[in-house]
Structure 1
Amino acid sequence: MTRVKQALFLVGGRGTRLGALSANTPKPMQEIAPGVRFLDLILENAARMGFTDLVLLAGHLGDKVEEAYDGQRIGEAAIRVVRESQPMGTGGALAQAAQVLDEHFVLLNGDSFFDINLRALTAAPLPEGGGRLALRMVEDTARYGSVQLDGARISAFIEKNPDLTGPGLINGGIYYLDRAMVSRIEAPSSIESDVFPELVKVGRLEGLPFDGYFLDIGLPETLAQAQRETAAMRVRPAAFLDRDGVLNEDHGYTHRVDDLTWIPGAREAIRLLNDRGYRVIVVTNQAGVARGYYEEEAIGVFHAGMQAQLAEEGAFVDAFYHCPFHADGKVPAYTVEDHPDRKPNPGMILRALNDWQVNREASFLIGDKPSDMEAARRAGLPGHLYTGGDLRAFVSGIIGPG
């Protein structure tokens, strides 16, 4: 199954319940901290999970969205804006973007933040022409309405009703969809109230519960809550992982995807870290480039292969850092004495700490060599020496089983 790379964001609502706050600023562009918009948080989260085509479906004040985001990048992810010609609801906004849709894509509400592993949502195949919704258990569904499950399939949507109180599953505002379902949309319409119930009738809509932090900013009090809580959530602990000998078997200068053999429990370990909210950052010495065994570009191809196989397990690596330099190289451009990135030097770790918002106190490194432990020490992080066995069990011993 091809790794899903496209994520679309519904950012066209008027935000009438926010009153004057949304009169000149789109609801998703409300600031949660000086210079940080609510939408920034959602886009950054999708980009770190490897979604590289970020499409904003804009409507109300679409010029403001376009001016702020169109053509911008977050790492390897590119942002583009598609503006609806007239207000046509969430279903209509998606239908008008039909020409830009990949075969499978994730659709997210731009005015709510649900802190989940999107790769877990996209791991399993979709019902043909259907979709899968991320669901959240809440203590009281009265404000939201609820969703009923029959196994993995959604069996019913219950409209919000102040008299129907108590715990239950709600729509988390994140959807994994098959492009073919767009043919069911008759604009103007609501994808939630018009399209999804039709998919339920034909058994083509699934639900997957998640436990992550959830907040929508539809009310002044919830926007205030977002300003108190969500900006700090951009800072996450990081698990720095060596590659050869920790994630994949070390065959000696391993660089071909065909030679990728995962360490037992490695993909499951990364999934555990993803689900627990850690940034997963790989730091790997790759002296084979300096020695002339393979080109530096081969490293990127190998890492793309790892990401594709991880996606099948609902897992992802936030970032890869590699050092192609070595003192005893055969390629002059890569022959460097004691390069600051080459472990035991901490250069790769320090660069990652600078590039990403990381909670250092809760971060750590796992490696299989003394040079890994020394790099961690020099970077001021605890190091854990992996000597074999199931990597998920090893990681669980560090962060707890969850």
Structure 2
Amino acid sequence: MTTRQAVILVGGKGTRLGALASTTPKPLMAIDGDTVFLDALLLEIIRHGFDDILLLAGHLHDSVLERYQGRSIRGASVRIVVESTPVGTAGALKNAAHLLDPVFLLANGDTLFDINLRRLSAGLEKRPDVLGVLALRRESNATRYGSVKLEDGYVVAFHEKERGSGPASINAGVGVFRREILTFVESVPCSIESDVYPRLATARAILGEELEGYFIDIGTPESLDKARRDLAGRRRPAVFFDRDGVLNRDAGYCHRVEDLEWIPGAVEAIRCVNESGAFAIVVSNQAGVARGLFRGADIDRFHAAMSAQLAAAGAHIDAFYFCPYHPDAVDAEWRHTDHPDRKPNPGMILRASSEWPIDMGASLLVGDKESDMEAARRAGIRGRLFPGGDLYASIRWEIERIAAHCARARS
């Protein structure tokens, strides 16, 4: 079952920020214009397919309620749980026990780690013997954070902050957990970091995975300023994929879930795009709607099945775009002589670029038809014709090129 819930801790007091946090919750610190840090974090989480968001609020919770209560963000619903008295991060999680899914993503609202989050959820699904997988990051100086000790993939110890501690793995503030971790909350107030995680480590019930990616913790005025410099106007490349014949076998007007068959190397290619730091976006002509063979709802179900299978493999598509229009449509609703979204027109690509922070100059479209290549040309991006065979093998060097671009942008 695909993990869809994300729980975000937004109740901290932000003591180290001093006067900056006296009237504003730390996750709601302004980053760029009207954008606050939590907006940027939510975008990262939601684009991975987590569409049930729980914000656990405490300190200055009215500001959180005012900004997010009842909102839908890119199709994800947002709910807020307010603690009546301070009970610590683990206490806040226990306070929301009645709303928790069996498995959920857990993130600190004041840190952002730009990684493939689906890698964590897929890792937990393969290990029923543990209760969580925690994302770790290697730091050259772990003095500020404390360190985490790994043995054979298990987290076995958490060490307190020590001056001059040198390079070490740190807790990067995000992980995927089973609801049963609440059994390790013996009393409140209780801290996840100081109380629950060490108990999980002692029980060998938590895994750690050391990952690379942009990381920021806005706990100090200096790091908040850095986040503002780094995240303001931040864009990333996109790999646009045609669908039928590139990602899945083209059996002719594919729309039935039972007919979904992946092209060899397609799942690996998508996962590697995810790992590179780029967006993975599908842009597909779907004339079967215009011809009356199926409906838009059938395409949505097909895409949902693709997303579920990708999630199980530790991968995701950030967005699906499809064009149902055709000059020979049987229904006038879908009849159009030259719809701007229908490839070789670039409408879907341009629409995605207006809806997502995409670096078009570094982006790529992978397709199996000359109409795909023409759409890429009209959109001003590179096109890569897929001749068949193994998709990952065919575009591996392109993905590596994009990964190198993203790494330079993060440094």
User: What secondary structure, in the 3-state scheme, does the structure 2 residue paired with 1:288 have?
Assistant: helix
Q: CA deviation at 1:332?
A: 2.9
Question: 2:43 is matched by which residue type in structure 1?
Answer: E
How far, CA to CA, are the matches of 2:395 and 2:215 in structure 1?
26
Match of 2:317 in 1: 317
Correspondences of 1:142-221 after superposition (within 5 Å) = 142-163=143-164, 165-185=165-185, 186-221=187-222
Q: CA deviation at 1:358?
A: 0.8
Contact 1:241 1:282 in 2 (8 A): yes
How far, CA to CA, are the matches of 2:399 and 2:311 in structure 1?
22
Provide structure 2 residue ranges, at least 5 long, that are not aligned to the other structure.
Answer: 404-411
Q: Tell me, yes or no, if structure 1 residue 336 matches structure 2 residue 336.
A: yes
Q: Which shows bigger deviation, 387-396 or 361-370?
A: 387-396
Contact 1:95 1:187 in 2 (8 A): no
How far, CA to CA, are the matches of 2:395 and 2:9 in structure 1?
37
Q: CA deviation at 1:335?
A: 2.4
Question: 2:299 is matched by which residue type in structure 1?
Answer: I
How far, CA to CA, are the matches of 1:42 and 1:392 in structure 2?
29
Report Cα offsets for 1:96-120 as digits up to 9, x if no partner. 0111101100010001111111111
Report Cα offsets for 1:302-327 as digits up to 9, x if no partner. 00000000001111001001111111
Contact 1:127 1:205 in 2 (8 A): no
How far, CA to CA, are the matches of 1:396 and 1:139 in structure 2?
30
Q: CA deviation at 1:129?
A: 6.2
Q: Tell me, yes or no, if structure 1 residue 297 matches structure 2 residue 297.
A: yes
Report Cα offsets for 1:17-39 as digits up to 9, x if no partner. 11110000001111111111111
Match of 1:228 in 2: 229
Q: CA deviation at 1:183?
A: 2.5
How far, CA to CA, are the matches of 1:337 and 1:331 in structure 2?
13
Q: Which shows bigger deviation, 284-293 or 324-333?
A: 324-333
Match of 2:3 in 1: 4
Match of 2:406 in 1: none
Q: CA deviation at 1:213?
A: 1.0
Match of 1:372 in 2: 372
Q: CA deviation at 1:230?
A: 2.0
How far, CA to CA, are the matches of 1:226 and 1:294 in structure 2?
46
Match of 2:111 in 1: 112
Question: 1:277 is matched by which residue type in structure 2?
Answer: G
Match of 2:137 in 1: 136
Contact 2:137 2:171 in 1 (8 A): yes
Identity of matched residues, % = 53
Match of 1:400 in 2: 400
Question: 1:149 is matched by which residue type in structure 2?
Answer: L
- Give the root-mean-square deviation of aligned CA atoms: 1.3
Q: CA deviation at 1:128?
A: 4.5
How far, CA to CA, are the matches of 2:345 and 2:230 in structure 1?
36
Match of 2:258 in 1: 258
Question: 2:269 is matched by which residue type in structure 1?
Answer: A
Contact 1:139 1:166 in 2 (8 A): yes
Match of 2:346 in 1: 346
Match of 2:16 in 1: 17
User: What secondary structure, in the 3-state scheme, does the structure 2 residue paired with 1:361 have?
Assistant: helix
User: What secondary structure, in the 3-state scheme, does the structure 2 residue paired with 1:289 have?
Assistant: helix
User: What secondary structure, in the 3-state scheme, does the structure 2 residue paired with 1:293 have?
Assistant: coil
| CA distance 1:45–1:331, change in 2 (3 Å) | same
User: What secondary structure, in the 3-state scheme, does the structure 2 residue paired with 1:79 have?
Assistant: strand
Q: CA deviation at 1:61?
A: 0.1
Report Cα offsets for 1:276-309 as digits up to 9, x if no partner. 1111110001111111111221000000000000
TM-score (norm 2): 0.95
Contact 1:257 1:305 in 2 (8 A): yes
User: What secondary structure, in the 3-state scheme, does the structure 1 residue paired with 2:67 have?
Assistant: helix
How far, CA to CA, are the matches of 2:267 and 2:201 in structure 1?
33
Report Cα offsets for 1:164-222 as digits up to 9, x if no partner. x2211110100211011112212210011111111122221110111011111111111
Contact 2:13 2:25 in 1 (8 A): yes
Contact 1:129 1:181 in 2 (8 A): no
Q: CA deviation at 1:259?
A: 0.7
Contact 1:256 1:298 in 2 (8 A): yes
Provide structure 1 residue ranges, at least 5 long, that are not aligned to the other structure.
Answer: none
How far, CA to CA, are the matches of 1:133 and 1:364 in structure 2?
32
Contact 1:283 1:322 in 2 (8 A): yes
Question: 2:395 is matched by which residue type in structure 1?
Answer: V
Match of 2:362 in 1: 362
How far, CA to CA, are the matches of 2:130 and 2:139 in structure 1?
29
Contact 1:134 1:209 in 2 (8 A): yes
Tell me which stretches of 4 or more aligned residues in structure 1 moved more than 3 Å: 126-129
User: What secondary structure, in the 3-state scheme, does the structure 1 residue paired with 2:240 have?
Assistant: strand
User: What secondary structure, in the 3-state scheme, does the structure 1 residue paired with 2:189 have?
Assistant: coil
How far, CA to CA, are the matches of 2:298 and 2:81 in structure 1?
35
Match of 1:39 in 2: 38
Question: 1:332 is matched by which residue type in structure 2?
Answer: A
Q: Which shows bigger deviation, 58-67 or 119-128?
A: 119-128
Question: 1:177 is matched by which residue type in structure 2?
Answer: F
Q: CA deviation at 1:232?
A: 3.6
Question: 1:257 is matched by which residue type in structure 2?
Answer: V
How far, CA to CA, are the matches of 2:359 and 2:138 in structure 1?
28
How far, CA to CA, are the matches of 1:215 and 1:377 in structure 2?
36
Match of 2:277 in 1: 277
User: What secondary structure, in the 3-state scheme, does the structure 1 residue paired with 2:201 have?
Assistant: helix
Q: CA deviation at 1:336?
A: 2.1
